[in-house]
Structure 1
Amino acid sequence: MRKLLKIILRILLYFIGFIAVYLIAAFGLSAISTPAENTSDTKNVDIYILTNGVHTDVVVPVESDAADWSKKVEFKNVRKPDTTARLVAFGWGDKGFYLNTPTWAQLKFSVAFKAATGLSTSAIHATFYNSLTEDASCKKITITKEQYKRLVVYISQSFKTDSAGNYIDIKTTANYGDTDAFYEAHRRYNLFYTCNTWANNALKACGQKACLWTPMDKPIFKKY
């Protein structure tokens, strides 16, 4: 019995130590900024970062010279298509969270465990907007055309595709509203690569201010 208690205590200490190191890294590395790249090119493409208080989306024009997202993320995949929408928000995350957790009160341990340990698959949540208002949870960032092209590549590479190269629409009734849809995505969500890590890396991909690393949304918005 004493030997068993020692083993349990050791496991508990390891777990507490891991959590402590993780939190120190999360807050410490989030506070370190990677600067925006220097460029003399004209900045004329408006993008946004958008948070619901926990999760960060990256919002881009539906149509531009660099990409026409409506050809891949089709209007017909949402409940009430509005082809006049000018913006589309992309968020990457755990598929179980997206589809099986309408509210935090309904979060199941199995979903949280699979997400934290990378045992689940991921999805991209795409939402159309006609306009956005800048405030504490929505920040506009103006970038160059070349920077936006890199962002397009980053987002595009996050989608899984079928044999014809089409994004794979997830048929579900778990939509958040009338203008959103879910798509199969690459990578797996875990403690070290979260929805906010994905969004933070999107900013790095197009040469904008970002955290050195973060699993959280608030450190990203503090940069803006």
Structure 2
Amino acid sequence: MKTIKKIAKVILRTVLGLVAFVLLYLLSAFLFSIWSVKKEAETSNDVAIYILTNGDHTDIVVPVKNTVTDWSREISYENTVSRDTTGKYLAIGWGDKGFYLSTPTWADLKFSTAVKAAFALSTSAIHATYYQSMPESNDCKKIIISNEQYKRLITFVDDSFKRDAAGNIINIKTNANYDKNDAFYEAKRKYNMFYTCNTWANNALKSCGQTACVWTPFDRGIFYHYR
């Protein structure tokens, strides 16, 4: 009987500990999301970028080509199924490789994939998608930045790619594409509950001096400051 009571106490403490951790995590996410990093003041208006969400995940969207850079030189149209070279915008997102390649919808989510992602047990990938247009909406917000800020954003994104011995980004050959105009690439760093796809996007905004959360694991934190 004493053994059963001891086991029950351990289980109860474990459950309460998990509940307390989840509540603390959500409270921290809320507080650090509404606490903002303000945008840099008095900069020129040179480049239009966008933040785009599918309801859970935030992409940073950039013009494919302008006077500063041509993203298609490395993130080649040839790596997409369509090989369509007319895309004018490129949406770039970072995330867990298992989520990207094995979980096209939440219905496909496996427990093992979620655990690996939450506890940094998997590798990461960059998902790049070409678009013909980028209409603004509640889920797509335009941000105007300077050329100097844009160069810093480029550096941030470039530093997120894993590269081969020759310095080239590494295309992931897969049939798990979301549509005909996207491709996946190997990325640095591991996804975890404290550094999510949205944390990466939030840090991308910080890198180019834009309004951002102090920290957020969720897309709602980012868009709170732009809606």
CA deviation string 1:47-89 (max 9, x = no partner):
0000001100000111223321111111100000121211111
* Conservation of the 8 A alpha-carbon contact between 1:92 and 1:195: yes
Hey, what's the Cα distance between the residues in 2 that align with 1:223 and 1:20?
23
The equivalent residue for 1:107 is 109
Hey, what's the Cα distance between the residues in 2 that align with 1:33 and 1:134?
22
Identity of aligned residues (%): 58
* Conservation of the 8 A alpha-carbon contact between 2:50 and 2:60: yes
TM-score w.r.t. the length of structure 1 is 0.97
Q: How does 1:1-224 map to 2 (within 5 A)?
A: 1-39=4-42, 41-224=43-226
TM-score w.r.t. the length of structure 2 is 0.96
Which 5+ residue runs of structure 2 have no aligned equivalent?
none
Which 5+ residue runs of structure 1 have no aligned equivalent?
none
Q: Number of aligned residue pairs: give it.
A: 223
* SS in structure 2 of the partner of residue 65 of structure 1: coil
Structure 1 segments, 4+ long, off by >3 Å, are none
* SS in structure 1 of the partner of residue 46 of structure 2: strand
Hey, what's the Cα distance between the residues in 1 that align with 2:115 and 2:207?
30
Hey, what's the Cα distance between the residues in 2 that align with 1:210 and 1:73?
26
CA deviation string 1:80-133 (max 9, x = no partner):
012121111100001000000121111110001111111111100000012110
Hey, what's the Cα distance between the residues in 1 that align with 2:137 and 2:105?
24
Paired letter, 2:150: Y
Paired letter, 2:6: K
Paired letter, 1:153: T
Hey, what's the Cα distance between the residues in 1 that align with 2:9 and 2:132?
60
Hey, what's the Cα distance between the residues in 2 that align with 1:186 and 1:144?
27
* Conservation of the 8 A alpha-carbon contact between 1:66 and 1:152: no
Hey, what's the Cα distance between the residues in 2 that align with 1:102 and 1:49?
21
